[in-house]
Amino acid sequence: MNRENEAFKGFKNQPPPLILIVDDLAENLAVLGNILRKEGYQIAIANNGKQAVNIAVSRNPDLVLLDIAMPEMDGLTACRLMKEDAGSQHIPVIFLTARTETEDILKGFESGAVDYITKPFKSAELLARVSTHIELKQSRDLIVRQKAELTHLLTTKDKLFSIISHDLRSPFAGLLTLTNILVENFNAYEKKDLEDSLRLIRDTSDQLHTLIQNLLNWAKLQTSTLEYKPLKLQMKAQVRKSTDVLALNSAKKGIAFDSGITDNYFVTADPDMLRIVLHNLLGNAIKFSNTGGVIEIDCEMKNNFIVTNVRDYGVGMSAEKQNDLFCHGKNITTAGTANELGSGLGLMLCKEMVEKMGGRIGVDSLPGKGSTFWFTLPAG
């Protein structure tokens, strides 16, 4: 018979609840353990209050059945310590006690207990109270998780609206204004002026396209709809694909790519995520490099991880800015050396994607000297 499902019809998809039984008498532990195991519960045992506190913090049980009268550390003290620790304060505690005086019962509730059962207890009463308090705890846990998820979704929505209203609306308004002027005064333009305006439209459109792609990918990450499909990938080939795509952008500023990556560096990564990371880091290096500069890309092996470095010799940044660069809620946007647009979203996207692939990302930079963005991925 599946006792677990009988006792927890509303929590079928969860593992059997873990109950910590605390009593200094072995026979009491045996009786309680037998009753609860027959109902499908998992059991942890402690024979003194100090041990109970340690187990509560380390194993995070769903419920504690705690004897009051014990040597070394009584149940009241143990309960107070559990409630003072952030790792165990949410765990419901039911006292098992032979004391029936009102004052003793009040002391139990004051120490943080949610209920008490008097000894000798009846099995049916014990199981009913255990089931009730575990269901209450799991309901509270569900509410906390749902609240956290809702808060996350609302934060994501606010970020999306912020980017749409600021970083997208402004350049789109500029594009509309410029194209209207071109349409209305087309015949009055000299060929050179017309070419310059068209180049501006093209560059702005390209930057907007990158921003929208980052925005969509970031939204997918937040809603867990972007799948991670790891493959063994050669870093040299992946970097070459990205530099080929960005060749036009780098050529506009006379910037050269210098890749020192050899054929023997392989990573385990999602090809789409890796492409997005490389595109953003190389795109940023172009953005903050001075005209005629060089961007260096290299790899090295460290502790079964491949470290990829993207190094520019451009404007660099302060230590304070570096600390905020990958932080949620810090919308770090800086115009490039040719006034290129940005939203601060690309690096946040890189961080989340690299971490999803099992790696880390960071930056080393000095103002006026340039920046080295690095990320690690598991070796393939």
- CA atoms in the 13 A half-sphere facing the CB of 15: 6
**Residue whose token pair is 């009055």:** 188
Q: What is the pLDDT of residue 4?
A: 41
Instruction: For 12-47, write each residue's pLDDT tens digit.
Output: 567 889 999 999 999 999 999 999 999 999 999 998
pLDDT, mean over the chain: 83
Confidence of residue 165 (pLDDT cuts 50, 70, 90): low
User: In a 3-state reduction of DSSP, which class is residue 140?
Assistant: helix
Range 204-214 average pLDDT = 73
Beta strands 63-67; 370-378: pairing state: unpaired
Percent of the chain scored above 70 by pLDDT?
84
- Two tokens, residue 80: 């107070």
Instruction: For 79-132, write each residue's pLDDT tens digit.
Output: 999 999 988 999 999 998 877 667 777 888 889 899 988 888 889 999 999 999
Q: Which residues pair with 374 in a beta bridge?
A: 309, 362
| Complete domains list, the chain, with CATH | 3-121 (3.40.50.2300), 147-222 (1.10.287), 227-380 (3.30.565.10)
> Distance of CA 184 to CAs 100, 180, 188, 194, 200, Å?
92, 6, 9, 13, 17
Q: What is the pLDDT of residue 259?
A: 93
Give Rg (Cα) of the chain: 31
Q: What is the pLDDT of residue 202?
A: 80
Give the residue with greater pLDDT, 324 vs 166: 324
Q: What is the pLDDT of residue 353?
A: 86
Residues in the chain: 380
Q: What is the pLDDT of residue 238?
A: 94
Res. 8: pLDDT tops 50: no
Q: Supply the DSSP symbol for 359.
A: -
